[in-house]
Amino acid sequence: MDGTSQSLEQPSTKSGHGSPNNAQDAKPRLMLMGLRRSGKSSIASVVFHKMPPNETLFLESTTRIQKDSIHSFMDFQVWDFPGQLEYLEPSFDLENIFGSLGALVWVIDAQDDYLDSVARLNRTILTVQQFYPNINIEVFIHKVDGLSDEYRTDTFQDIVQLISDELSDAGYENAPVHYYLTSIYDYSVFEAFSKVIQKLIPNLSTLENLINTLANNCGFEKTYLFDVLSKIYIASDTRPVDMSCYEMCSDYIDVIVDISELYSWDHPDRKPKGDQNQEAESHVVLHDETMIHLLEMNKYLCLVSVIRNPESKDKKGLIDMNCRTFQEALNDVFSRSWEQDQEQNRITEE
Ligand X SMILES: Nc1nc2c(ncn2[C@@H]2O[C@H](COP(=O)(O)OP(=O)(O)O)[C@@H](O)[C@H]2O)c(=O)[nH]1
Where on the chain is the footprint of ligand X (CB under 6 A)? Answer: 34, 36-42, 56-57, 59, 61-62, 83, 142-143, 145-146, 183-185
Report the residue number, 36 or 123, with the smaller CB distance to ligand X. 36
Kindly write out the interface string for residues 281-320 of this chain, putting x where it contacts Mg ion by CB under 5 A and - elsewhere.
----------------------------------------
d(CA 90, CA 124) in angstroms, rounded, equals 14
Asked whether 117 and 108 are in contact (CB, 8 A), the reply is yes
Tell me the helices (H) and strands (E) count for the chain, helix number first: 10, 12
Mention every residue, 6+ apart, whose C-beta is less than 8 A from residue 209.
Answer: none
Minimum distance from residue 44 beta carbon to ligand X (Å): 8
Query: 187 is in the binding site of which of ligand X, Mg ion, none (Cβ under 5 to 8 A by kind)?
Result: none
Cβ at position 345, least distance to Mg ion in Å: 30
- Tell me which of Mg ion, ligand X, none is bound by residue 143, counting a contact when its beta carbon lies within the kind-specific cut-off of 5 to 8 angstroms: ligand X
DSSP strand pairing (177-181 vs 233-236): unpaired
CB of 117 to Mg ion, least distance (A): 14
Q: Which does 331 bind (CB under 5 to 8 A by kind): Mg ion, ligand X, none?
A: none
C-alpha–C-alpha distance, residues 35 and 106, integer Å: 9
Q: Which stretch binds Mg ion (CB under 5 A): 2-10, 37-45, 270-278, 305-313?
A: 37-45
CA distance 326 to 306: 16
- Among positions 27, 31, 32, 41, the unique one binding Mg ion when judged by CB under 5 A: 41
Minimum distance between the CB of residue 178 and Mg ion, rounded to whole angstroms? 22
- CA end-to-end span of the chain: 24
Cβ atoms 235, 211 nearer than 8 A: yes
Q: Which SS3 state, helix, strand or coil, does residue 12 take?
A: coil
Q: Which amino acid, residue 242? A: D
Report the distance separating Cα 127 and Cα 149, nearest Å: 33
Q: Which of residues 42-101 bind Mg ion (CB under 5 A)?
A: 62
Return the one option of ligand X, Mg ion, none that residue 184 interacts with (CB less than 5 to 8 A, by type): ligand X
Choose the one of Mg ion, ligand X, none that binds residue 146, judging by a C-beta under 5 to 8 angstroms depending on kind. Answer: ligand X
Q: What residue ranges bind Mg ion (CB under 5 A)? A: 41, 62
